[in-house]
């Protein structure tokens, strides 16, 4: 099986197609499901269950469905993805590390549809895997985190998001994407006890309109000062699709990010949690903490078709 899958259209080869749900916009209801294979179950049995994802009872209501695999599992399933399995969630002090086998992210038109889809997906996988995570997320007001700050301001523009998130042609896993997920629990009482000016210094941006503070006002440990990294004059970008989640007693953010280069995740997390050698950590981590952390490979539509049949 070749490393680079290409489809033919009018005699011209084309790049494998990324899963479209990664980039689909305008959806306000999200559901994240993580599964662990049951003991003794072979990977092929998990694949057999996933083959039914396209059936109408699962996708009713126009839901977007994104499927990711533990990278080492996907490498085992797809011989062309050699090297993908080297990716794992970073092991660092301060980070939760909770690997799982399969991640299903569905987002669409409303909580009722997402619940129906989540139940259908879980029923398909129930004979071979057990549900480890079931988290419902939502768009909060005009795209803000529960802290009140606009989320995802650092995302690349839509026209270049694909290049940021998708493995380029010629590399193992071309058309796919590396992804991490994290559940962060906020201490909103402590954060909102700060004056707005101090909150802005935590993020490095203004609260009403997300304008970056100038260098004289932005602390070196502000959130964006830690996660915006430049190498050789280029910013190391990732593509974020995070959503708030919560109930009265627990409020937070389900962080989701995609990248064509998985090393970017560890570089950012090292800077956030004080492992980059400069003695600084991200001030935001004084007000929110990660309680989960998983790494996935999200294969292209072409690769899924080849492996799932």
Active site residues: 151
Half-sphere exposure of 271 (CA within 13 A, CB side): 17
**Contact predicate 103/180, CB 8 Å:** no
Half-sphere exposure of 283 (CA within 13 A, CB side): 19
Alpha-carbon distance values, 48 to 51, 143, 309 (Å): 5, 37, 9
Segment holding 297, helix H or strand E: strand 294-298
In sequence order, what are the residues at sequence separation of 6 or more whose Cβ sits closer than 8 angstroms to the Cβ of residue 234? none
Residue 270 CA to chain centroid, in angstroms?
Answer: 18
Alpha-carbon distance values, 228 to 52, 154, 156, 237, 269 (Å): 40, 8, 12, 8, 11
Q: What is the DSSP string of 61-127?
A: TT-EEEEEE-HHHHHHH-GGGTTGGG------TT------SEEEEEEES-HHHHHHHHHHHHHHHTT
Strand partners, 231: 234
Alpha-carbon distance values, 261 to 5, 87, 164, 166, 177 (Å): 19, 10, 8, 8, 8
CA–CA gap between residue 307 and residue 43 (Å, rounded): 11
């Amino acid at each position: 099986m070749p490393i680079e899958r290409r489809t033919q259209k009018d005699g011209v080869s084309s790049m494998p197609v990324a899963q479209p749900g990664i980039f689909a916009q305008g959806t306000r209801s999200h559901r994240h499901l993580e599964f662990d294979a049951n003991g003794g179950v072979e990977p092929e049995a998990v694949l057999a269950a996933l083959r039914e994802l396209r059936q109408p009872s699962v996708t009713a209501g126009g839901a977007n469905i994104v499927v990711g695999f533990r990278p080492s599992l996907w490498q085992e399933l797809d011989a062309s993805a050699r090297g993908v399995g080297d990716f794992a969630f970073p092991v660092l002090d301060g980070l939760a590390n909770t690997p799982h086998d399969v991640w299903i992210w569905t987002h669409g038109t409303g909580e009722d549809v997402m619940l129906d889809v989540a139940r259908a997906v879980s029923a398909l996988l129930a004979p071979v895997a057990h549900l480890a995570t079931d988290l419902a997320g939502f768009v909060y007001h005009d795209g803000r985190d529960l802290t009140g700050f606009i989320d995802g301001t650092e995302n690349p523009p839509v026209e270049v998001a694909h290049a940021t998130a998708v493995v380029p042609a010629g590399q193992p896993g071309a058309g796919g994407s590396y992804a991490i997920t994290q559940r962060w629990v906020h201490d909103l009482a402590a954060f909102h006890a700060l004056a707005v000016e101090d909150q802005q210094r935590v993020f490095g941006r203004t609260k009403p309109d997300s304008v970056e503070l100038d260098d004289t006002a932005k602390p070196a440990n502000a959130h964006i000062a830690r996660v915006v990294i430049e190498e050789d004059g280029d910013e190391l970008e990732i593509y974020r699709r995070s959503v708030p989640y919560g109930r009265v007693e627990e409020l937070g953010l389900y962080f989701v990010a995609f990248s064509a280069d998985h090393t970017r995740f560890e570089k950012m997390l090292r800077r956030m949690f004080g492992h980059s050698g400069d003695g600084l950590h991200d001030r935001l981590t004084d007000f929110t903490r990660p309680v989960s952390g998983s790494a996935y490979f999200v294969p292209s539509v072409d690769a899924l078709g080849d492996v799932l049949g």
